[in-house]
Amino acid sequence: MENKVVIVTGAAKGIGRAIALKMAEAGCLGLVINDLRIDEYAESLAKEAQAYGVNVLLMAGDMSKEEDVKKLIDITTEKWNRLDVMINNAGIAKANNLFDTSTEDWDQVISVNMRSAFLGMKYAAAYMKDHGGGSIINMGSIAGITGGSTSPDYGASKAGILALTKYGAKFLAKYKIRVNALAPGTINTEMIKRNFENLEPEELQERLSAIPMGRMGEPEEVAKVALFFASDLSSFITGDSLMITGGRNT
């Protein structure tokens, strides 16, 4: 990752945090840590990343808002005169069934998850196409393949991201821009823990037993795949959605 500048959105916690630290550990030139707000989680992440000798920029912004995405890209490229890797990780999830999901819930999840990936890809690619290409990584989910079970909006948003990834890969290949997606399964994050809070012990065990490896994944295990897609090790891979699920595919 030497000489590469990386943006990670929604990076303060969970998978985003692990990805940001993995990019720093791999020796990237510059790391931009974005989240909705810069709080103690984002600041502590910046300190951990800086311990690897990486130049870190903290930037607050709502990635579902076009002006915030433009600002993120502009400030990054003004600082380093390059952008090599854009990781569209910002996202939310709600545990609502079909009947309990309001139109406001639906619109928010679709906007934060799918619209932010579209905007991040659009404006990162607009810079990359004139500056030698790059790698764009979108955060999908196994729910985008299976439909999910915690809410109707989450799986729909992630399925949209997987389709967007395939479109972007085909359209942007001529500019030397690769676009791939991560599709994690059950990963040990605060978001997953919140979604599991209301499950009965038997139901929780049923969820875990559906994973052939018999456990939740760790954010670090997703981050390793993100590093693969970000680096030149995956130079002939684009349009792929890689499941990180411990063998679960339903």
b/e per residue, 210-242, with b = 16+ CB within 10 A? Answer: bbeeeebbebebbbebbbebbbeebeeebbbbb
Report whether 156 contacts 113 (CB < 8 A). no
Predicted pLDDT of residue 208: 84
* pLDDT over 90, % of the chain: 86
Q: Is the pLDDT of residue 195 over 80?
A: no
Would you call 7 helix, strand, or coil by DSSP? Answer: strand
Q: Is the pLDDT of residue 21 over 80?
A: yes
β strands within the chain, DSSP E: 5-8, 30-35, 55-60, 85-88, 134-139, 177-184, 241-244
Q: Is the pLDDT of residue 119 over 70?
A: yes
Q: Give the DSSP letter of residue 45.
A: H
* HSE-up (13 A, CA, CB side) for residue 106: 9
Residue carrying the six token digits 């990781």: 87
Domains of the chain are 5-244 (3.40.50.720)
Residue carrying the six token digits 């810069």: 38
Predicted pLDDT of residue 249: 86
Q: Is the pLDDT of residue 237 over 90?
A: yes
pLDDT (tens digit per residue) in 45-93 = 999 999 999 999 999 999 999 999 999 999 999 999 999 999 999 999 8
Q: For the chain, what is the mean pLDDT?
A: 95
Q: Is the pLDDT of residue 194 over 80?
A: no
Predicted pLDDT of residue 92: 92
- Across residues 134-146, what is the average pLDDT? 97
Q: Is the pLDDT of residue 115 over 90?
A: yes
CA distance 15 to 220: 7
CA distance 76 to 30: 9
pLDDT tier at 12, thresholds 50, 70, 90:
very high
Q: How far is CA 136 from the centre of its chain?
A: 10
**Candidate list 41, 127, 154, 167, residue with the active-site label:** 154
Q: Is the pLDDT of residue 198 over 70?
A: no
* pLDDT over 70, % of the chain: 99
How wide is the angle at C-alpha 165 spanned by C-alphas 80 and 35, nearest 5°? 50
Report whether 219 contacts 188 (CB < 8 A). yes
Taking residue 143's Cβ as centre, other Cβ atoms within 10 Å add up to 21
- Across residues 29-46, what is the average pLDDT? 97
Extract the tokens encoding 81: 């005169």
Among this protein's residues, is 41 annotated catalytic? no
